[in-house]
């Protein structure tokens, strides 16, 4: 089913891209020199097909948008790492306590020193426990 859905989406999309490229194949001049007059021999002047320019801008926009999204999610990745570290410490303590309960005559296992994790947000607003 997934292959069929991919086929139904990608084939028309590919056809649209090909039609767009064929319809917009005339050359355009892109000048990156904002202060000077556009001279065809300048290193800041490019001639390329219109569809290539459109694809370049589309790809650049996707990369910039993805980077911005990744940077904005840094807080949540850090929070997830903190929660994961605290979960590991709590599971280790749980296992140690289970061992102590199962064999009460045994000498208690030495407590592992773990780095204290900062408090975890109790909701998405950033309010802290405490």
Within 24-122, where are the H helices? 50-72, 74-102
DSSP E strands in 3-117: the ranges are 27-31, 45-49
Look over the chain and give the mean of its residue pLDDT values, rounded to a whole number: 83
Q: Among 19-23, 42-46, 85-89, which range has the highest average pLDDT?
A: 85-89
Q: What is the pLDDT of residues 103-112, one digit of tens each?
A: 877 665 565 6
pTM of the model: 0.56
Predicted confidence at residue 30, as pLDDT, reads 84
3-state secondary structure of 121: strand
Other C-beta atoms within 10 Å of 88: how many?
12
Dist CA 90 CA 84 (whole Å): 10
| Residues 54-88: tens digit of each pLDDT | 999 999 999 999 999 999 999 999 999 999 999 99
pLDDT at 130: 42
Instruction: Looking at mean pLDDT, say which of 2-6, 8-12, 26-30, 68-72 comes out highest.
Output: 68-72
From the list 71, 28, 69, 74, the residue with the least C-alpha distance to 51 is 28
């Amino acid at each position: 089913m997934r292959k069929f859905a991919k086929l139904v989406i990608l084939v028309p999309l590919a056809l649209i891209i090909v039609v767009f490229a064929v319809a917009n194949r005339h050359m355009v001049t892109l000048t990156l020199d904002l202060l000077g007059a556009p001279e065809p021999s300048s290193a800041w002047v490019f001639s390329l097909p219109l569809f290539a320019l459109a694809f370049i801008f589309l790809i650049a926009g996707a990369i910039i948008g993805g980077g911005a999204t990744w940077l904005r999610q840094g807080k949540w990745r850090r929070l997830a790492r903190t929660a994961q570290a605290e979960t590991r410490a709590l599971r280790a303590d749980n296992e140690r306590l289970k061992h102590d309960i199962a064999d009460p005559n045994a000498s208690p296992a030495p407590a592992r020193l773990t780095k204290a994790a900062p408090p975890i947000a109790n909701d998405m607003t950033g309010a802290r426990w405490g």
